Structure 1
Amino acid sequence: MTMPVEIVTIPCLSDNYAFLVHDTASGQTALVDIPEAAPILEALSTRGWVLSEVWITHHHDDHVQGLVKVLEAHPARVTGAAADAHRLPPLDRSLSDGESFDFAGHSVQVMDVSGHTKGHIAYYMADASAAFTGDSLMALGCGRLFEGSADQMWQSLSKLAALPGDTIICSGHEYTASNAKFALTIDPHNPDLISRNEKIVSARAAGSPTVPSLLTLEAATNPFLRAANADIRAGLDMPDATDAQVFAEIRARKDAF
């Protein structure tokens, strides 16, 4: 059986990822984030794909700086957040939280996931069981709070955590090994986390990516999604705090890790 949508993970720079989303029936292809042009253009050329769309998650250079060169080779429609349009490359389509658009017959939902930056968005594609989360929810982590607040990020992560458990989380960086080391300081007796860490160590030793990851796995192992967990709360001596307060403490500890 041919899958209706194919997702290709493209390593870029030293630890970034871009993603190609290819509709097999129409041949249309979208690109999520553009850290650098060369590996993206190579991936398109190798597969004989022509780029139709670009979806930007947020304004940081390591997610947009390859756009000009990519568009020179593949003129494509560029989508980004309306709230961030003033500091993104020129957009052909500006969208806000809760809006959706059609890609080759597939609905793509836009989700505001501010926290790492204000105006950061994620793209959820139910037909592909995939969410492109940039630097919001990441493999065993979440983005540093450069612009938004801990409350904002907790709301964003809670929104993503409510997606179907079989959703593939396509995040923007290969930070998983260092995230796992930190997670074990917060949730040291979690057997799922211990097992996942062992697999991460093996994958990275083999040069294999650890992104994307399954949302159910993140829910079971990612401390930034587990602020309600009694063992984590006990370890932080925060049994009566709100989930947002527990998250804020975990994020502060990660910043200092």
Structure 2
Amino acid sequence: MRFDISGHYLLLQAFDRTGRKVFGGEWHGDEAFARDTEDPSGVSGERRNIQDLIKTLAASAEPHNAILASDADEEEHQAASDALHQINRELGQLKERLATLPHVTGSWLADHEAFKRRTDIESKLFEAFRSGDLDLQVGPNEIVQWRTWSRQPDFKVLFSMSCVIVPRSHAGQRRRGPAFIQLAAFEKWLCRFAGAATGTEELTPEAQLEIWLREKIKGPKEFSKPVYRAHALEEIPELSARAFDRVWDNVVPKNWKRRGRHGS
């Protein structure tokens, strides 16, 4: 069967559609390129704790400062002075530590949230490849053998580039190639996620037809090709007869291409 790119998504397209389905309005569209950033929550929490301690220590110094400003005897003055010395020493240490901590900026928070969304969608797709719910295809005709390839350290899936780097132990003439996911299988898999609608109205007429035909061929052939064509043209108004014939040839099994209802 010849490779028809209209029946496939590039890996980056599938990644983006999954993100939009899972995250809805939170998805920005550039998550595939989000850089790995440290979780800012730890730094933010430490800064907050130090700032609270500084306020507490500053408040504890006030009674001692009041004693030094009063007519208290020498012994009380000395005790207050010693206490203030300890407080100021601790305050100095806290302020030094605070100065070494990076400020948690809005861009840092946004970058980290984008990276978390990226890794979430990547993990969902990796699990689909691992379980066999989806096939990852390299070039026009090679399916990634996930169980064996994924155990090789030089195997890589580059979502942002829609590219697979084939492990040396399995590579032929080329070690990398464009990565695709079969469109109809992907749309069926995507339905498991609640979220924003990603219906077939977003697809080309040919893509809608492929999904329609793949559902039909799960059962027996009930009509002749012209009848299926008529039904398809009625259900997908923008579809042309020529496009139907092209998708039919690429999708249906050989026994459906024979004349008659049951391919006989």
Higher helix share: 2
Higher strand share: 1
Which TM-score applies when normalising by structure 2? 0.24
Structure with the bigger RCO (C-alpha within 8 Å, sep 6+) is 2
Higher Cα radius of gyration: 2
Which TM-score applies when normalising by structure 1? 0.24
